[in-house]
Amino acid sequence: MRFDAKPLPGGIGAEVTGLDLDRPLDDATVRALNDVWLEHAIVLFRGMGTSNERHLRLSRAFGELEVHPIESIRLEGAPEIIRLAQKADDTDQMTYRFAGEEIVGRIPYHTDLVYTTTPNRGAILRMVEKPAVGGETGWIDTAAAYDALDDATKARIDGLEARFDFVWNLEEMRFGKPEGVTLVDQGSVPYPEFPDVAHPIVWVHPLSGRKSLSLSTVHLIDVVGLPREEGDPILERLVEHTLGGRFDYVHDWEEGDMVLWDNWRTMHTALGAPPGHDRVVHRTTMKGEHQTGRLL
């Protein structure tokens, strides 16, 4: 099966066109798709997500899928897909105020499960119901961010580890916190507790061998083994460099779009939407079997 892949605007990520997801994907096509994923880390399939069957067929090309432990968000008949919804009439949602505007569903840049020792391999997000306002998602290629560092910085961070914790309240972020963020409504969702984890600041991708920065700003706490007066300036410079806009792709969704990302080489952000708007996305997640961190 033939398809085409071209770089996304700005040079971060790629878009795949011409792929027929109404038929099974042969082995050669699966290998070629995985090559595109490994090379570009962020892959857009514009308008191809018109059914659960298409979503699953594409997702299974990239590895074994996780079934989410929370049964209530799994799709009936398709347990590998979870439904993440922001509904206009929902009064029990975590809400923040950013620059005077209330926003639901905003999560700053992070890497999934970096607060565990074994982050997942990747995921595919599919837009099912687009909000009238907002709702964009952004990704950062952290390998490109590492490549752009000067040699002295690369040498300084080589071998250093960062400590990560599960931070659910954005007011408590230490790095990359949105200016003036205020928690308006926590909602009633319970949050689990995780032990602190250390990850190398420089990750080496187990398949490509490429180096990337592990920063996950929501969960980033400090540098292991350094006093904060020494370690914090290192992390502040790295976060400023990585979040500066040079290495990101922000997607303005249309219904049916799907985006695949490599969780071992990216961070992503949900920009959220004002209360009173419907937004529904479906997500599949590829399992990760590569341990990158250690418990502290």
141-152 burial, b at 16+ Cβ within 10 Å, e below that, comes to bbbbbbeebeee
Amino acid at 279: R
The total number of structural domains in the chain stands at 1
Answer whether 0.85 is exceeded by the pTM: yes
Q: Is residue 20 part of a domain?
A: no
Residue 101, domain CATH? 3.60.130.10
Q: Is residue 106 part of a domain?
A: yes
Structural domain boundaries, residue 207: 82-289
Per-residue pLDDT of the chain (296 residues; tens, 9 = 90+): 789 999 999 999 999 999 999 999 999 999 999 999 999 999 999 999 999 999 999 999 999 999 988 788 999 999 999 999 998 888 788 899 998 899 999 999 999 999 999 999 999 999 999 999 999 999 999 999 999 999 999 999 999 999 999 999 999 999 999 999 999 998 887 788 899 999 999 999 999 999 999 999 999 999 999 999 999 999 999 999 999 999 999 999 999 999 999 999 999 999 999 999 999 999 999 999 999 999 99
Q: Is residue 189 part of a domain?
A: yes
List the beta bridge partners of residue 249: 139
Q: Is residue 98 part of a domain?
A: yes
Classify 81 as helix, strand or coil. strand
Q: Is residue 226 part of a domain?
A: yes
